[in-house]
Amino acid sequence: MQLTKLGHACVVFSDGDRRLVVDPGSFTEDSAWDGASAVLITHEHADHFLADRTRAALDADPALEVWTNPAVAAQLEGAGRRVHTVGAGDALTVAGFDVQVHGEWHAVIHPDIPRVRNVGFLVAGQVFHPGDALTVPDTAVPTLLVPAHAPWSKTGELIDYVREVRADRAYGVHDGLLNDRGLGLVAGLLGERGPGTPTPYTRLAPGDSVEL
């Protein structure tokens, strides 16, 4: 299985002709949709989900299906049975990939800002994409995708998150608002210049792929 980062929070899992896309939002090129077998969406914020773009993809490909939380599914009303609602504890098969669902809520941005639903996806028992939350699955996570920068997080919390999950490896995503200096600072604190974690951390640049 190949993991490819396609900008900010969007990643693609590929195996043969199967292509599972996660969180193609406003910071992701439209090419992320090319050849998509299915789509997973963690939550409704625009950097993860664009309703109009998703509707257009569903209209263009009658075989395309979407799995997401109830709030996102409600914004795709009318797409029929090709939009599937999932929640924490669900286990399903999407485009031939086994997927487990973990988590329920977006991280707190500020107490005065209402929280939205957020689900994380563990794909093929190998890679966990938490969306915008620091969800710790109740199962082993070989590869963790770390939301490296967000209005709701600080790097110290990310260090503790990586320590708690104890994955074999971690790759940075959700970093589209950082310049090169910021990317280097976060990578250093999660890596050799930080207090230490049990998990090696690497930043994936848009377009980078790894074999898992």
211: in domain: no
Q: What is the DSSP letter of 117?
A: B
For 192, other C-beta atoms within 10 Å of its C-beta total 10
Q: Is the whole model's pTM more than 0.85, yes or no?
A: yes
Q: Does residue 212 form part of some domain?
A: no
Instruction: Supply the pLDDT for residue 8.
Output: 95
Q: How many domains does the chain have?
A: 1
Reported as a single tens digit per residue, the pLDDT across 42-98 is 999 999 999 999 999 999 999 999 999 999 999 999 888 999 999 999 999 999 999
| Residue 209 domain-assigned (yes or no) | no
pLDDT of 158: 98
- CA-closest candidate to residue 139, choices 157, 126, 151, 129: 126
Q: Give a yes or no: residue 210 inside a domain.
A: no
- Which CATH number do you get for residue 76? 3.60.15.10
Q: Would you say 209 and 4 are in contact if contact means Cβ atoms under 8 Å apart? A: yes
Range of the domain at 174: 2-204
Q: What is the pLDDT of residue 78?
A: 84
pLDDT, one tens digit per residue, over 101-156 is 999 999 999 999 999 999 999 999 999 999 999 999 999 999 999 999 999 999 99
